[in-house]
Amino acid sequence: MKRINLLIPALILLAVACKHKPQQPAGDAQSTQDSLNASTYLPIADFIKGDINRVDSFAGGILKKGNINGKKDSAYIQPAEFHKLASQFLMPELDSTSFHEHFKEHSLMDETTQMLNFIYTAKEPAGSLYSVMVYLQPSLQTDQVNRIYMERSFKSGDTTIEQKLTWKLQEYFYVVTVRQPKNGPAVTSMEKVIWDPQLFAD
């Protein structure tokens, strides 16, 4: 991987990766440390699938909140609807072969959040997805992926659709969608799905 202005922190992370293996439940995605050590792009789809598996492993409530142009609603949903909504994040462009071919990577350390950010941008338009960021919390024990953020744009008929998708591991995900018809005002909507009960009131 290329590291921009991050030689020392990168070497520290790689050293940690060699000494510590993550303690994650069976069936989880490939560890962040293994990904760093293998000099390959982070397995973003696998991180999301691993979190979906965690949600499937418990019988707690799943809350969906919606907001369309300021009109809010909320309801508890069944696992089938959770999977349907979560599938928005599992885009074809995240397939490892396509991702390596069509995206370039750089990284930086955010001094404010103390997180290592891996930033992937499309080399040229090859699909709807054009930007991905992975926020990683470095640790001397187990590096943890904290959040995944993606942006995409596509057309449906004469409507241009822009989406910003955020997945906060072990807590929630949300999708902000702006639909801009060829003739008419834009409509902005947000769907947030929460499985951490401590955040239901947020």
Helix%, strand%, coil% for the chain, nearest 5: 30, 40, 35
For residue 1, pLDDT over 70 is answered with: no
Question: What does the pLDDT look like over 48-63, one tens digit per residue?
Answer: 999 999 999 986 899 9
% of the chain residues with pLDDT over 90: 65
Tokens 């520290």, located at residue = 12
Say which residue, 188 or 23, is predicted with more confidence. 188
The Cα-based distances of 188 to 8, 70, 71, 109, 162 in angstroms read 42, 9, 10, 32, 10
Q: Phi and psi at residue 4, in whole multiples of 5°? A: -100, 120
Report the Cα 175 to chain-centroid distance in Å. 11
What pLDDT score does 20 carry? 38
Nearest alpha carbon to residue 36 among 15, 14, 55, 52: 14
pLDDT, mean over the chain: 83
> Under DSSP, is residue 184 helix (H, G, I), strand (E, B) or coil?
coil
The Cα-based distances of 2 to 8, 47, 114, 129, 170 in angstroms read 13, 21, 20, 21, 29
Count CA atoms within 13 Å of residue 202 on its CB side: 14
- Assessment of whether the complete model's pTM goes beyond 0.75: yes
For residue 173, pLDDT over 80 is answered with: yes
Say which residue, 175 or 24, is predicted with more confidence. 175
> Under DSSP, is residue 122 helix (H, G, I), strand (E, B) or coil?
strand
Question: What does the pLDDT look like over 60-101, one tens digit per residue?
Answer: 899 999 999 889 999 999 999 999 999 999 999 999 888 999
